[in-house]
Amino acid sequence: MVARKLGVTDAEIEKLCDAVLAALRRGPLSPDEIRDATGKAARSLGPEGTKKGLTTTLPVALGQLQVLGKIRRVPINGRLDQQRYRYTLWEPSPMDKFELSAQDSYTELARRYFRWIGPATLAEFQWLSALGVKAAKAAIERLQLVPAEPGSDRLMFPDDREQFAKFKPPVKPVYALVSCMDSLFLLRRRLSELMAPEVAKAKVYADKGVVELGGLSDLYSNAILDRGAIIGLWEYDPEASSIVWTTFVADDQALRATVQRTEMYIRDQLGDARSFSLDSPKSRIPRIEALRKAQKRK
């Protein structure tokens, strides 16, 4: 732990935690307000702490209190699309009646994950859970998962596999415009398996330049899906009050109608479509321009 290497003791953090809880009994406070309220209970970790990304002991205490379920963060003004928040006491705490062991907790996480997104691989669950290989394997042992298909490394619950085997994909296209944060991508992070080979070779915008779409772990723009497969990308341009989009396959009237319906919904009911909290019209400009160029090349 970085704090211990910097000379921070458990007793010091425990004392600071008590000071934070006492301060929050007066109501929600921002990090700066907590720092002022706790006074000398929090201290600077000096230049060495700055080098290691930990300037004071306060983040250690706040993190510990959140893990224990004693405090939680609440967005300022109720805005979920901003990184400004206060801390407040968490009462009643979700941990008050929590009795699962660490191992049982990992298994419960695995249960929920494979119910959410199965079929999925052990490696994908390991990435999501941040567990090591041994711990991830132990977490799923009691779930009695089975391969989605003979020889497959994708696992799922037996009853889910029965439903999966019965499913017949629609013959006609079924289009959807979804966020780049959609769980279809976010819980797997293997985009190449969600697109045709020719789509995977498409050149798209990324932070470090133009790359092949299939080589990405995360999407930089929102996705256009057809029956669960990625066929295109889109962004909302608030200045033009319109969706800028492109596909890597031939489009049709049904797709254009889907884009139009989504555009109207965003314009008339949302005003904008942010992909994540720090997304903004300004940061979106390079992605929008890249999509416009891709449209012109079609």
d(CA 84, CA 242): 28
| Phi/psi at 272 (5° precision) | -165, 165
Looking at the predicted structure, is the pLDDT value of residue 298 above 80? no
Cβ partners under 8 Å of residue 135, min gap 6: 106
> Are residue 114 and residue 200 in the same domain, yes or no?
no
Residue 55's domain is classified under what CATH number? 1.10.10
pLDDT given for residue 189 in this prediction:
77
The kind and range of the H/E element at 220 are none
Does residue 278 have a pLDDT over 80?
no
Q: Is the dihedral of CA 34, 38, 41, 43 positive or negative?
A: positive
267: helix, coil or strand?
helix
In a domain, residue 97? The reply is no
Residue 247 and residue 264 share a domain: yes
Are 69 and 18 contained in the same domain?
Answer: yes
Whole-number pLDDT of residue 195: 95
> Rounded distance, CA 8 to CA 3, Å?
5
Task: Answer whether the bond into residue 173 is a cis peptide, omega within 30°.
Answer: no
Evaluate if residue 77 carries a pLDDT over 80. Answer: no
Mean pLDDT of the chain: 91
Q: Is residue 244 part of a domain?
A: yes
Query: What average pLDDT does this structure show over 21-44?
Result: 94
Angstrom distance (rounded) from CA 236 to CA 4: 46
Asked if residue 108 and residue 148 are part of one domain, the reply reads yes
Single out the residue in 64, 89, 114 at which a domain terminates.
Answer: 89
Angle ∠(282,288,292) on CA atoms, nearest 5: 150
Q: What is the pLDDT of residue 80?
A: 61
pLDDT for 139 equals 96
Nearest to 43 by CA among 68, 13, 66, 64: 13
Q: Outline where DSSP puts E strands in 66-208.
A: 71-75, 85-89, 146-147, 155-156, 175-178, 203-206
Residue 9 burial (CB count, 10 A): 11
pLDDT tens profile 48-75: 888 888 999 999 999 999 999 999 999 8
Mean pLDDT of the 210-228 span: 93
Domain boundary among 54, 89, 124: 89
What does the pLDDT look like over 144-197, one tens digit per residue? 999 999 999 999 999 999 999 999 999 999 999 999 999 888 888 788 989 999
Q: Average of pLDDT values for 25-37?
A: 94
* Packed helices 58-67 and 10-24: angle between N→C axes, nearest 10 degrees: 70
Domain count along the chain: 3
List the alpha helices (DSSP H) in 228-280: 253-265
Is 94 among the domain residues? Answer: no
Inter-residue contact 210 to 286 (CB < 8 Å): no
pTM: 0.76
Above 70 in pLDDT, residue 82? no
Residue type, 45: L
Whether pLDDT at 76 is above 70: yes
| Rounded average pLDDT over 102-116 | 95
Share of the chain above pLDDT 70, in %: 98
Summarize pLDDT for 261-277 with one digit per residue, the tens: 999 999 999 999 988 77
pLDDT at 136 over 90: yes
| Domain that includes residue 19, residue range | 2-89
